Each structure stands twice: as C-alpha cells, then as structure tokens.
Amino acid sequence: MQFWPLVLDLAKGLLVSAEIFALTLLFALPLGLPIAFGRMSKWGLVRLVSRVYVSVMRGTPLMLQLFFFYFGPYYAFRIPLHPGYRFAACIIAFSLNYAAYFAEIYRAGIESIPVGQHEAAKMLGFTRSQTFFRIVMPQVVKRILPPVTNEVITLVKDTSLAFTLSVMEMFTVAKMAASAHTTMVPFVVAGAFYYVFNFAVAWTMERVEKALDYYR
C-alpha cells in the first residue's frame, strides 16, 4: 500500500466529511431556535410536540435515525431508493438530530436570563422583539458558546457515522482501504485527520468566545 495515494484519498473523504459538518450546522443551528421557543411556548400542545421531538431525537441513536430517513421513504411510500439520496438523507438525519441538542442549549441559555431584565426593558419602552434581540440574545450567545462548542466538536466525530449509508466520507474511505490492504494504517491516518479537524474547530470557537468576552 502506497502512503501518499492513501493520504490523497483520505483527504478527498475529509472534504465530504467537512461538507456534512458544514451543512449540518447550516440547518441545525437556526432550526434549534424555533424548537427552543416551542419548548417554552405557553401553548400546551406546542410544548408537547416540541418536547416529544427533542426526546425522540436525543433518545434514539443517530445511526438508527440515518437508516430511518434513508429507508423510510421506500418502506412507507414505496419510493425507489436513489443512490444520490444517500447524502441528502445523511444531511436530513444529522440536521434534525443536532437541532434537538441545540434547542435545549438555546432554551437553557434563554431561561438563564433574569426576569428583571425583561421587566426593565419593558419599563424603558422596548418591545418584546427588541428586548429579545438587543438585550437577551447577546447574553445568550455568550453563555451558550461553551456547550455549543462541545456539540460542534462531537459533530466532527459523528460525521463518521455516514459510513452506515455508504457515503464516501473519510471513515468510509479508511475502512475500505484497511479492508483491502489488511492494515490499520488508514485508520491511524484518518484519526490524525480527525484530530486536526477537531483542533481547528476548537481553536476557532475559542477565538469567537474570547471575542465575545465582554466581562473582561
């Protein structure tokens, strides 16, 4: 087995992993906010639906959800499985799963803001939307960055679960190479790539957190 061709193949797989990572954040981060609002809604039915959604997505394995969103349309509606749908099903499953985790982080952050700040804003003539976006949200963003960072780092590693749908991300490429050459080298190189990827993400999130450190 030649080393540099292996590295090149794994680098191509890393690009797919990075694409899964970026698209998941693109959809999951904003989707988590309305789910968080649903969890805090005054309407009992909305709270119930949001709570059940979060419970199911956090209480079942992501691998099982990947299978569900890929095979579900066929078994439920007899829609033929198209090879190109593998990647789409992967993004759908990842986004819906991580949206549930982000929703709980958002909810905790919003509910941590003292009620007195809402009352003070009301006395100053702020509307509810102005209070949320100008007073509450900046503080929430600062408070939730550490747990969001943890979830983002976990997402980097979870992209390897896409191998269950035969998406050609980095772990899938490493697994195929290891099986073909009966060696652990592809896994070692893939592990190094995952570490560098995670290090870059953690470093970036740390810079963002320091930029928002208005307590200093």
> Is the separation of the CB atoms in 140 and 210 below 8 Å?
no
pLDDT for 210: 84
pLDDT for 1: 63
pLDDT for 83: 74
Place of tokens 């061709």: 5
**Cα separations (Å) of 26 from 23, 47, 203?**
5, 25, 19
Read off the amino acid at residue 128.
R
Q: Please name the helix (run of DSSP H) or strand (run of DSSP E) that holds residue 135, with its range, or none.
A: none
> Is the separation of the CB atoms in 106 and 33 below 8 Å?
yes
pLDDT for 36: 95
Give the domains, in start order, of the chain with CATH numbers.
Answer: 3-211 (1.10.3720.10)
pTM: 0.91
Q: Which are the contacts of 167, defined by CB distance < 8 A and separation ≥ 6?
A: 16, 20, 86, 87, 90
pLDDT for 3: 78
pLDDT for 28: 97
**Cα separations (Å) of 171 from 70, 71, 174, 175?**
19, 22, 5, 6
Q: What is the mean pLDDT of each run of 10 residues along the chain (216 residues)?
A: 83 95 97 95 94 96 95 86 87 97 94 81 80 82 91 95 93 91 91 94 90 65
Rounded to an integer, what is the distance from CA 82 to the centroid of its chain? 25
Tokens of 164: 């269950």
**Cα separations (Å) of 179 from 15, 117, 174, 185, 188?**
22, 59, 9, 11, 14
